[in-house]
Structure 1
Amino acid sequence: MDNQENATNPATEGAVATKTGRLASLRKDPKGWTVLALAVAAVIVFFGSAFGAGIGLWGWQAGLSALPWTGLVALIALIVAIVGILLDRRKERKTRWRLLGLGTIVSLGFIGYLASYAMTLASLPAIHDITTDLADPPEFSALTLRADNWDNIPGADDSAMRGMNPRQRWATLHQDAYPDIRSVRINQPVAEVIEKSKRLAEDRGWEVANVDPASGHLEATATISLFRFKDDVVIRARAAENGQASIIDMRSVSRVGIHDLGANAKRVRQFLSDLSGTTTTAS
């Protein structure tokens, strides 16, 4: 008796019919599926390109070359989604907004993600060598400074930097963009500072290439992002106040690329902040 009532229950039949209708409507929504597929594909290709470059399936240049296209695909998906929503609204087919809405969210989120990188590119100079001491940057000994380090420094056509060589232009751009990155003083002897630097570097997962507490020198390599870019770091500590304090300088250099998107400056700031606790800028 109960089974017969459930089988013929109008409410149950109505719910099933509504659900079936919605699924059928979604299946018949090519615009929605197209938008969602394009948005998801853009995200997958973006991160897949970076990951593939990071594990050596292709070069980092090839990985980066795919990224602008992913932004274009996401933008196309967003435009199609907006047009589709407007058309479906006129035709009162609100059920189909689900796929279009989801595709819109994915597209907007991804475009916003890319836009943050674009804003960084536009707001910071295209340099990749950051240091606390522009006049006398710490030098690498175990690691090798890239051969093209002073190539492609912007500003050659800038009237304000006319007559400057690449290193002078680099120093000018560096000072304007990162005036806060300067030598720091720490109230600890040189050897203790370098030992602490070594521990902090290892905690960050950096590969320590050379450490010499007595001479106040440490070199390490940091690996970042899905691309697994490598940035080389050198830390120099010099005795001050009869050896009771130290003046610390740091340098972080990207091995490849022209623009570091501010990554090296961020690394220097964070490391020196952790190293000194309360950082005191050296005069």
Structure 2
Amino acid sequence: MRLMLARFALILSLLLPVWFMVAALGVKFDLWSWRLGLGVLIVQWGPRLLIGAFILAVVALVATLARSPRSGWRAALVALIIPVLGFGYLAYVRSQATAIPPIHDIATSPGDPPTYSAELLALREAAGANPVAELSAPLTGLPAYQGPRFATFADRSLGQVGQDAYPDVKTLTTIRSAAEAFAAAAAEVEAQGWTLVSSDPAAGRLEATAETFWFGFKDDVVIRVRSGEPGGPTAIDMRSTSRVGLGDMGANAARIEAYLASLGKRLAGG
């Protein structure tokens, strides 16, 4: 019986990663909504399953070590380690969430951000996505940011909050012409594997949609290539906006930084 208990605890613990993967991939492949996959299956039920597996593993470990023969204790130990690692990861995510402001719209130039076209805004509206707000708007004046939780942001705009949180998200400048920079920017969008929505060389604007691996969350990006004074540098700005969720866990800022870093190398390399 003790060996069977240890094996059952191990099987249950091994099924935990499967539960989380299925919950995430179900959202990606439109088997259920992100509210069910993330909000219910992971956020609500995930910790409960971890606690249940942890308790069962502790009972199995104690039972197998209580008296001879002590067979099955290794299986019980592995069964215990898996939920412990799960708790550790959840604690890490929670700490990251509290350290990052709950925003999902980031731009390199909050004072003069690139704007989305009517075509892309229509795609967002059809998908029931977050509205795209003005980055100059006071954060707590937006409908999603009401209540005492956001009181600390009362004196700052949405763009200022993003700029303070991600100071390394900056405009990329290059000595290349606007036409060369636009061609490189388009090539980098393709290299990133994003879905191109619109390309307007005359306006210097590219729009695309990026998709996350696990949940298939879609974030929209707009890239603006603009030349300055004759003979001066070309400026490349970017904006990345999540379609769902209040906060993005820093994903949009990381996307902009990675894209512009790779684009900078592409421009430098010719």
Offset of residue 99 of structure 1? 1.5
Q: Which amino acid aligns with 2:28?
A: G
How many residues are aligned here? 250
Distance 1:147 1:91, change over 3 A: closer
Cα distance in 2, alignment partners of residues 31 and 157 from structure 1: 45
Give 3-state SS (helix, strand or coil) of 1:274's partner.
Answer: helix
| Matched letter for residue 143 of structure 1 | L
Show the 5 A alignment for 1:190-269. 190-243=178-231, 245-269=233-257
- CA separation in 1, counterparts of 2:252 and 2:197? 18
Aligned counterpart, 1:46: 20
Q: 1:130–1:203: structure 2 CA closer, same or farther, 3 Å change rule?
A: same
Whether 2:168 is the aligned partner of 1:176: answer no
CA change 1:272–1:155 in 2 (3 A) is farther
Could you tell me whether the CA contact under 8 Å between 1:127 and 1:153 is conserved in 2? no
Query: Out of 41, 62, 66, which is 2:41 matched to?
Result: 66
| Match of residue 56, structure 1, among 14, 26, 30 | 30
Percent identical among aligned pairs is 33
| Residue 47 (structure 1) shift | 0.9
Say what the alpha-carbon RMSD is for the aligned residues. 2.5
Q: Deviation digits for residues 63-106 of structure 1, max 9, x if unmatched?
A: 11210212321233223323432443332443211211221232
Could you tell me which residue of structure 2 aligns to residue 153 of structure 1? Answer: 145
Structure 1 residues 158 and 234: alpha-carbon distance in aligned structure 2, compared to 1, 3 A threshold? closer
In structure 2, the CA distance between the partners of 1:67 and 1:219, relative to structure 1 (3 Å rule), is same
Q: 1:31 to 1:279 in 2, by over 3 A?
A: farther
How far the C-alpha of 1:156 sits from its partner, in A, is 5.8
1:17 is matched with none
Q: Out of 30-39 and 121-130, give the one that drifted further.
A: 30-39
SS of structure 1 residue aligned to 2:207: strand
Does residue 138 in structure 1 map to residue 130 in structure 2? no
The alpha-carbon distance between structure 1 residues 159 and 266, as it changes in their structure 2 partners (threshold 3 A), is closer
**Contact 1:184 1:279 (8 Å CA) reproduced:** no
Which of these two proteins has the greater Rg computed from alpha carbons?
A: 1
* 2: CA distance, partners of 1:61 / 1:243: 51
How far apart are the structure 2 equivalents of 1:105 and 1:161? 40
- Counterpart Cα distance in 1 of 2:81 and 2:153: 45
Q: Is the 8 A contact 2:101 2:247 kept in 1?
A: yes
Mapped partners of 1:158, 1:117: distance in 2:
20
Aligned partner of 1:32: which letter?
A
TM-score by length of 1: 0.79
* Deviation sequence 1:24-56 (CA, Å, 0-9, x none): xxx752431332233223221211111111111
Change in CA separation of 1:199 and 1:114 when aligned onto 2, cut-off 3 Å: same
SS in 1 for 2:113: coil
Aligned partner of 1:34: which letter?
A: F
Distance 1:121 1:154 in 2: 18
More divergent stretch after superposition (82-91 vs 99-108): 82-91
In the other structure, the counterpart of 1:117 is 93
CA distance in 1, matches of 2:34, 2:151: 34
Show structure 2 runs of 5+ residues with no match. Answer: 134-142
2:177 and 2:35 map into 1 onto residues whose CA distance is 44
Asked if 2 retains the 8 angstrom alpha-carbon contact of 1:194 and 1:212, the reply is no
2 CA distance for matches of 1:104 and 1:207?
42
